[in-house]
Amino acid sequence: MTTQTVILTGLRAVYGAGARRVTALDDVTTSFVSGTFTAVMGPSGSGKSTLLHCAAGLDRPTEGTVIIGGSRLNELGEDELTRLRRERIGFVFQAVNLVSTLTAAQNVELPLRLAGRRPPARDVTAALDAVGLVDRAGHRPSELSGGEQQRVAVARALITRPAVVFADEPTGALDSAASRQILRLLRALVDDHRQTVVMVTHDPIAAAYADRVLLLADGRIVDDMTGGITAAVVAARIAEQETAPAEIAGERSC
């Protein structure tokens, strides 16, 4: 029996008013199954980052519902939502946002420290072990490579044992070798630890590590790919979506 970790229903996100009104999400309904890896793609302005932020409780949608692990985010007050984000949601972003004066281990335990909890040393070690950095626990960010810094950020996202990890362009600032390392790590979290991962990316190669690819355009899901996902297949689907409007416009002008 599959369990849906995240359920999004009828999401709309509208910003601005009048001539500046922008619909970033337009009636999006989908879910993310526990222990799966989903990549969210689309051109700039397609709504992929807005989808991630609404699903993660960073932004509130204009309409619709978000459920994570049985909790309805729409019904939570700001304090309750902050607590849920700290305890049930992990975040990994392109900018690693590590504290330069803290060691890798101290950066990992920071979310729990901010929540007023002192994590057991074994939990911090386990999180660093999951990303292969136990031997770098005492190093500060300036002593780590870009890929190692991002792995610390992943460990920090895991320390609370979240229901889901959201990653927004986690390899965008890395070279190809470090990118592959992070993507293999995310894949292993799903395969070995049944972690649920939802990742926004613009890169078909990165998307090919996922079990499923959602393609957005103009705030709507226009494709939902599962099975046989390769970088070439993803790139071809994106190209189809990019050329479709031009073809339709050409037909209308005839």
CB-based contacts of 230-233 (< 8 A; 24+ apart in sequence): 231/204, 231/205, 231/207, 232/204
Domain 4-249 has CATH 3.40.50.720: no
Distance from C-alpha of 96 to C-alpha of 210, rounded to nearest angstrom: 21
- Output the pLDDT for position 245: 55
Q: Domain map of the chain by residue range?
A: 4-249
- Whether this model's pTM surpasses 0.75: yes
- Output the pLDDT for position 246: 47
- Output the pLDDT for position 44: 86
CB-count burial class (<10 Å; 0-12, 13-18, 19+) for 33: middle
Q: Which tokens belong to 33?
A: 């199954």
Beta pairing, strands 212-217 & 220-226:
antiparallel
Instruction: Supply the Cα-derived Rg of the chain in whole angstroms.
Output: 19
Distance from C-alpha of 104 to C-alpha of 139, rounded to nearest angstrom: 6
Q: How far is CA 88 from the centre of its chain?
A: 14
- Output the pLDDT for position 250: 42
Block means of pLDDT (10 residues each) for the chain, 254 residues, are 84 90 95 96 91 94 94 93 90 89 95 85 91 94 94 91 92 88 93 94 95 95 93 91 56 40
Would residue 132 be called left, alpha or beta, if left means φ above 0 and alpha means ψ between -120 and 50 degrees? left
